[in-house]
């Protein structure tokens, strides 16, 4: 995909050079357009990672009110990574891991269902997880959210992952990724932007992730960024 985009930009640039080298300014009217294509295609997406827990109120609010709406509007310039684990703990028992979660066993189950959904049905993961986190009961909503956004997937296949070795290993990866954070996380939701966490980035992301992603993107801003800045200052709540 990236290769294709670059090739496109290069072709455009080549065309430009050829045209402009031998022609008066009027024929270079296309220049503006090509520059736009070039910069907008080549800049790196802004990477946003969320370290969270499925039942933490502050995480749910950030995910539902900010992260997913922003991702839907800015998916052209933003990558999103969700790592459900947060303040949970793991203990190795034989060749398996046992997990203990801040908000109890249901939270571990919610984390695991979301992890398995991301792994098994990546294309439907965003709406399914949004639907779960926006529901009154995150865990109870899982089956109907999956039926709604990925009707071809059997809930029993997700639960086989949840209760099997696969889910266990996937959650262990989340634990390792969370433990590797630099600086180590102190609370959740914990946000990294392009792999970096600072108090300032966290605060800006919590007050308006949308504005932050638009401001960090180095290419031509997509129309969504300039069509009125949607500042959703929400109350910050940590777990
Ligand atoms: C296109 O992007 C490349 C790489 O970022 C840059 O070196 C080049 O100057 C750009 N060309 C134009 C016409 O903006
Ligand atoms: C964003 O993530 C992608 C994929 O993991 C990586 O290749 C890229 O270098 C990251 N960009 C930045 C600016 O960290």
Query: pLDDT (tens digit, 9 = 90+) per residue, 95-109?
Result: 999 999 999 999 999
Q: Is 13 in the pocket of ligand 1 (CB under 6 A)?
A: yes
Burial class (CB in 10 A: 0-12, 13-18, 19+), 88: buried
Q: Is 168 in the pocket of ligand 1 (CB under 6 A)?
A: no
Q: Which of 9, 10, 13, 16 to mutate to test the pocket of ligand 1 (most atoms within 8 A of CB)?
A: 13
Work out the percent of the chain whose per-residue pLDDT is above 90: 74
pLDDT in the model for residue 227: 76
Q: How far away, in angstroms, is 17 Cα from ligand 2 center?
A: 31
Structure-token pair, residue 234? 């929400």
**Lowest-confidence segment of 30-34, 50-54, 69-73, 84-88 by average pLDDT:** 30-34
pLDDT in the model for residue 226: 86
CA 31 – CA 20 distance, rounded (Å) = 9
CA 153 – CA 147 distance, rounded (Å) = 7
**Backbone phi, then psi, for 152, in 5-degree steps?**
-80, -10
3-state secondary structure of 96: strand
- pLDDT at position 28 over 80: no
The HSE-up count of residue 177 (CA atoms within 13 Å, CB side) is 19
pLDDT in the model for residue 65: 97
Q: Which of 11, 21, 39 to mutate to test the pocket of ligand 1 (most atoms within 8 A of CB)?
A: 39
pLDDT band at 234 (very low <50, low <70, confident <90, very high): low
Q: Which of the listed ranges 9-13, 41-45, 138-142 does the model predict with the highest average pLDDT? A: 138-142
pTM for this one? 0.78
List the residue whose alpha carbon is closest to atom 4 of ligand 1: 42
Q: How far away, in angstroms, is 93 Cα from ligand 2 center?
A: 34
For the chain, give the mean pLDDT.
86
Q: Which of 116, 106, 102, 174 is nearest to 138 (CA)?
A: 106
Q: How far away, in angstroms, is 47 Cα from ligand 2 center?
A: 6
- pLDDT at position 33 over 80: no
List the residue whose alpha carbon is closest to atom 6 of ligand 2: 47
Q: Is 35 in the pocket of ligand 1 (CB under 6 A)?
A: yes
């Amino acid at each position: 995909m990236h290769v294709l985009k670059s090739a496109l930009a290069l072709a455009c640039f080549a065309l430009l050079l050829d045209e402009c080298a031998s022609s008066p300014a009027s024929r270079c009217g296309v220049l503006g357009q090509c520059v736009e294509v070039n910069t907008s295609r080549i800049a790196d997406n802004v990477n946003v990672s969320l370290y969270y827990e499925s039942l933490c109120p502050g995480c749910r609010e950030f995910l539902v009110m900010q992260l997913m709406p922003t991702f839907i509007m800015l998916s052209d310039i933003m990558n999103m990574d969700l790592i459900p684990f947060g303040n949970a703990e793991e203990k190795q028992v034989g060749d398996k891991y046992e997990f203990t979660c801040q908000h109890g066993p249901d939270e571990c189950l919610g984390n695991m269902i979301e992890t398995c959904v991301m792994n098994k049905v990546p294309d439907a993961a965003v709406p399914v997880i949004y639907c779960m986190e926006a529901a009154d009961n995150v865990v109870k909503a899982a089956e109907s959210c999956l039926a709604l956004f990925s009707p071809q997937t059997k809930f029993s296949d997700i639960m086989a992952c949840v209760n099997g070795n696969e889910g266990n290993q996937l959650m262990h990866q989340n634990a390792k990724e969370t433990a590797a954070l630099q600086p180590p996380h102190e609370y959740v939701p914990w946000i990294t932007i392009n792999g970096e966490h600072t108090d300032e980035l966290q605060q800006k992301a919590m007050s308006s992730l949308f504005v932050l992603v638009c401001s960090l993107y180095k290419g031509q801003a997509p129309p969504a960024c300039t069509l009125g800045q949607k500042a959703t200052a929400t109350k910050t709540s940590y777990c």
